[in-house]
Amino acid sequence: MNWNKLIDETQLATIKEESAQQPVLIFKHSTTCSISAMAYSRMERNWSDAAGIKPYYLDLLGFRSISNRIASEFGVDHESPQVLLIHNGECVYDASHMGISFQALSAVTLSS
Protein backbone atom coordinates (compact mmCIF):
# COMPACT_ATOMS: atom_id res chain seq x y z
CA MET A 1 0.00 0.00 0.00
CA ASN A 2 1.42 3.38 -1.00
CA TRP A 3 0.18 6.14 1.27
CA ASN A 4 0.24 9.75 0.07
CA LYS A 5 1.17 11.94 3.03
CA LEU A 6 -1.26 14.73 3.84
CA ILE A 7 0.95 17.49 5.23
CA ASP A 8 -0.54 20.76 3.96
CA GLU A 9 -4.07 22.18 4.00
CA THR A 10 -3.75 23.13 0.33
CA GLN A 11 -3.74 19.41 -0.51
CA LEU A 12 -7.46 19.30 0.34
CA ALA A 13 -8.23 21.18 -2.89
CA THR A 14 -6.14 18.61 -4.78
CA ILE A 15 -7.98 15.77 -3.06
CA LYS A 16 -11.32 17.26 -4.12
CA GLU A 17 -10.11 17.51 -7.72
CA GLU A 18 -8.70 13.97 -7.71
CA SER A 19 -11.96 12.64 -6.31
CA ALA A 20 -13.71 13.54 -9.58
CA GLN A 21 -11.55 10.88 -11.27
CA GLN A 22 -11.40 8.25 -8.53
CA PRO A 23 -12.46 7.89 -4.88
CA VAL A 24 -9.94 9.26 -2.38
CA LEU A 25 -9.40 7.95 1.14
CA ILE A 26 -8.22 10.13 4.00
CA PHE A 27 -6.97 8.09 6.96
CA LYS A 28 -6.56 10.18 10.12
CA HIS A 29 -4.13 8.38 12.42
CA SER A 30 -2.88 9.08 15.93
CA THR A 31 0.54 7.50 16.25
CA THR A 32 0.22 7.17 20.05
CA CYS A 33 -3.18 5.43 20.12
CA SER A 34 -3.38 1.63 20.16
CA ILE A 35 -6.86 1.61 18.58
CA SER A 36 -5.58 3.82 15.79
CA ALA A 37 -2.59 1.50 15.30
CA MET A 38 -4.91 -1.49 15.04
CA ALA A 39 -7.19 0.23 12.51
CA TYR A 40 -4.15 1.30 10.48
CA SER A 41 -2.77 -2.24 10.48
CA ARG A 42 -6.12 -3.75 9.46
CA MET A 43 -6.41 -1.25 6.61
CA GLU A 44 -2.94 -2.08 5.31
CA ARG A 45 -3.44 -5.86 5.59
CA ASN A 46 -6.73 -5.79 3.68
CA TRP A 47 -5.91 -3.09 1.12
CA SER A 48 -6.22 -3.79 -2.59
CA ASP A 49 -5.21 -1.31 -5.27
CA ALA A 50 -7.85 -2.98 -7.45
CA ALA A 51 -10.52 -0.99 -5.59
CA GLY A 52 -9.28 2.14 -7.37
CA ILE A 53 -9.08 4.26 -4.21
CA LYS A 54 -6.23 6.76 -3.78
CA PRO A 55 -5.11 6.69 -0.11
CA TYR A 56 -3.92 9.69 1.92
CA TYR A 57 -2.47 9.42 5.42
CA LEU A 58 -2.71 12.20 8.01
CA ASP A 59 -0.56 12.11 11.15
CA LEU A 60 -2.88 13.80 13.64
CA LEU A 61 -0.18 14.63 16.14
CA GLY A 62 1.89 16.47 13.56
CA PHE A 63 -0.94 18.10 11.62
CA ARG A 64 -3.94 18.67 13.88
CA SER A 65 -4.84 21.90 12.04
CA ILE A 66 -5.36 19.88 8.85
CA SER A 67 -7.70 17.54 10.71
CA ASN A 68 -9.72 20.52 11.91
CA ARG A 69 -9.89 21.82 8.35
CA ILE A 70 -11.03 18.40 7.09
CA ALA A 71 -13.86 18.42 9.64
CA SER A 72 -15.11 21.82 8.47
CA GLU A 73 -14.41 21.27 4.76
CA PHE A 74 -16.26 17.94 4.56
CA GLY A 75 -18.86 18.45 7.31
CA VAL A 76 -17.78 15.61 9.60
CA ASP A 77 -17.00 15.57 13.30
CA HIS A 78 -13.35 14.97 14.15
CA GLU A 79 -12.56 11.50 15.43
CA SER A 80 -9.39 9.47 15.79
CA PRO A 81 -8.76 7.18 14.12
CA GLN A 82 -11.04 8.08 11.26
CA VAL A 83 -11.42 7.41 7.55
CA LEU A 84 -13.23 9.58 5.04
CA LEU A 85 -14.03 8.55 1.50
CA ILE A 86 -14.16 11.52 -0.84
CA HIS A 87 -15.95 11.24 -4.18
CA ASN A 88 -16.76 14.15 -6.51
CA GLY A 89 -15.50 16.60 -3.88
CA GLU A 90 -17.83 15.34 -1.13
CA CYS A 91 -17.41 13.01 1.81
CA VAL A 92 -19.61 10.03 0.91
CA TYR A 93 -18.55 7.81 3.81
CA ASP A 94 -16.79 8.16 7.14
CA ALA A 95 -16.05 5.73 9.93
CA SER A 96 -13.99 5.68 13.09
CA HIS A 97 -12.38 3.32 15.54
CA MET A 98 -13.42 -0.32 15.01
CA GLY A 99 -15.84 0.70 12.25
CA ILE A 100 -12.89 1.28 9.93
CA SER A 101 -12.63 -1.49 7.34
CA PHE A 102 -11.43 -1.82 3.79
CA GLN A 103 -14.40 -4.03 2.95
CA ALA A 104 -16.85 -1.27 3.92
CA LEU A 105 -14.91 1.27 1.83
CA SER A 106 -14.95 -1.08 -1.14
CA ALA A 107 -18.70 -1.59 -0.83
CA VAL A 108 -19.28 2.17 -0.87
CA THR A 109 -16.93 2.59 -3.83
CA LEU A 110 -18.68 -0.11 -5.84
CA SER A 111 -22.09 1.41 -5.21
CA SER A 112 -21.01 4.96 -6.21
- Domain with residue 104: its CATH number is 3.40.30.10
* 3-state class percentages of the chain: helix first, strand second, coil last, to nearest 5: 45, 25, 35
Helix/strand/coil for 86: strand
The domain total for the chain is 1
Amino acid 109: pLDDT: 75
Q: How far apart are CA 10 and CA 50, in angstroms?
A: 28
Mean of pLDDT values over 8-22: 97
Structural domain for 37, as ranges:
4-111
Mean of pLDDT values over 5-19: 97
Rounded to the nearest 5 degrees, what angle is found at the Cα of 14, between the Cα atoms of 12 and 16? 70
Residues 6+ apart with CB under 8 A from 93: 83, 84, 85, 104, 105, 108
pLDDT in tens, 35-93: 999 999 999 999 998 889 999 999 999 999 999 999 999 999 999 999 999 999 999 99
